[in-house]
Structure 1
Amino acid sequence: MLTHGEIWAAIDKLAERHGLSTSGLAKRAGLDPTTFNRSKRITSDGRPRWPSTESIAKILSATGESVDAFMSLLSGISTTRRTVPLIGLAQAGEGGIFDDAGFPVGTGWDAVEFPAIGDENAYALEITGDSMAPAYRDGCVVIVSPNSPVRRGDRVVVRLKNGEVMAKELKRLSAKTLELKSLNPEHADLSYGREDVAWIARILWASQ
């Protein structure tokens, strides 16, 4: 499983590889110069803050680096590629695609190669439509880890017991309530009772 420290260390190494400070790397990518400052890596209440997939995609584009190259900077992460199941998000609500715990099962899956990660049950979902823009656009592929713990601020995939599947940001998770922030600013935030939720899984990566 990717850790908070490994991701930030990889960003530091990427900046060093190109002879830049982290502020210089952010500026080259068109981001706020403070985006990768060490003070931004911890929230005001002491919790780890994760860099967004959008900011990582922008620094890879700005430096001409590939996802594989970035993965090679992650300590302890193998760069060996493996095949993970792939399905369209619109199909994910169909029966027989996931088990009750949210692990991929059945025969409706395609496949895609991705650098190996620690979760053997990881899978890929292809986004369709623009309901999750600008974070996830049509054709974007997200890598989902059902075994990773979810925390406030994580991008997650949620499946409701009625079959609806969505990608959102986790605002709050309690014993009774799930609160989600919509990625598209034109859509309202959502709240559900835990009894309505089949499962929730963390998004580890997104192509852009």
Structure 2
Amino acid sequence: MDIHDIRRHNLQTILTVRFSGYRAGLAAAIDRQASYISRCLTQIEKNRKRIGEEFARHIESKLDLPAGSLDAPDGIKLPDGESATEQDHAISLEKGPEFSRPFKRTPILGTAQLGPEGYWEALELADGWVDVPSSDPGAYSLRVKGDSMAPAIRSGWVVWCEPNQRLVPGEYVMVRRVNGECMVKELLYANEEEVSLMAVNDGYGRLTIDRDEIEQIHYVGGIIPPSKINY
């Protein structure tokens, strides 16, 4: 690395440490235009303005740096005596929060054959998985067959459920009764004694089930088209 590259790297360090990367601030401090600073620091060699001897001493004078500071090959000496380079400054920054994957892979546990009034008559084995925006560790998916829940849930589409999500009146739930019947319906209300449901299909009405007849009731997080299934 020649003297011009050393000066360029040290000027970049000054820009980063003292001016927080704000080129207009550095430019004003040394009586230059921001575009001139950009030319000095550009990574494109053919467009780069070299920092000569006179300009290097000018920068040091304007920024109250000791003469020759810009020529230091191991990093510029800051006024407080600390040696800093761009890499040193970058390492001193606190690590920001890590972003988790926004979607969760949920396995398709089976294919539910939809019978009259939205009941599942049988559960066949199925494979594949879908990505869903869920943080529920127990989330799972079911692929449905039949048209008794149309148009809300079409044959071949996937329903994903969240067992640990709180139930929300007015939204869909998956209900399994102690006799093995399963269904997806709109939740009207739920209390300690009973659960009231509304059929997805307009051809069927309201259904109220005693709590002791329900084996499980899970929140339905969403409905996914078959094109989103992965194998």
Q: TM-score under structure 2 normalisation? A: 0.47
Q: Find the aligned partners of 1:165 and 1:78 in 2 and give their Cα distance.
A: 32
Q: Is the 8 A contact 1:78 1:116 kept in 2?
A: no
Name 2:102's counterpart in structure 1. Answer: 79
- Matched residue of 1:89: which SS? strand
Q: Is the 8 A contact 2:176 2:216 kept in 1?
A: yes
User: Which runs of 5 or more structure 1 residues have no equivalent in the other structure?
Assistant: 1-75, 98-107
Q: How much does 1:116 deviate?
A: 5.6
- Matched residue of 2:113: which SS? helix
Name 1:151's counterpart in structure 2. Answer: 168
Q: How much does 1:93 deviate?
A: 7.1
Q: Find the aligned partners of 1:153 and 1:177 in 2 and give their Cα distance.
A: 16
Name 2:179's counterpart in structure 1. Answer: 162
Q: Deviations over 1:164-204 (max 9, x none)?
A: 00000000101111110001001122111001000100111
Q: Deviations over 1:83-137 (max 9, x none)?
A: 424311239777xx9xxxxxxxxxx563313146211111111111111111101
Q: How much does 1:161 deviate?
A: 0.3
Q: Does 1:175 align with 2:196?
A: no
Q: How much does 1:80 deviate?
A: 5.0
- Pick from 134, 137, 141: which aligns with 2:151? 134
Bigger Rg, structure 1 or 2:
2
Equivalent residue letter for 2:203: E
Q: TM-score under structure 1 normalisation? A: 0.52
Question: Percent sequence identity over matched residues?
Answer: 31
Name 1:196's counterpart in structure 2. Answer: 213
**Greater per-residue helix proportion:** 2
Equivalent residue letter for 2:107: V
Q: Find the aligned partners of 1:80 and 1:131 in 2 and give their Cα distance.
A: 29
Q: Is the 8 A contact 2:174 2:184 kept in 1?
A: yes
User: Which runs of 5 or more structure 2 residues have no equivalent in the other structure?
Assistant: 1-98, 115-119, 226-231
Q: Find the aligned partners of 1:204 and 1:151 in 2 and give their Cα distance.
A: 11
- Say what the alpha-carbon RMSD is for the aligned residues: 2.6
Q: Find the aligned partners of 2:203 and 2:108 in 1 and give their Cα distance.
A: 31
Q: Is the 8 A contact 1:125 1:143 kept in 2?
A: yes
Q: Is the 8 A contact 1:121 1:147 kept in 2?
A: yes
Q: Is the 8 A contact 1:78 1:115 kept in 2?
A: no
Q: Find the aligned partners of 2:212 and 2:135 in 1 and give their Cα distance.
A: 30
- Pick from 124, 135, 138: which aligns with 1:121? 138
Q: How much does 1:81 deviate?
A: 5.3
Q: Which has the higher contact order (CA 8 A, sep 6+)?
A: 1
Would you identify which runs of 4 or more consecutive aligned residues in structure 1 move more than 4 Å? 91-94
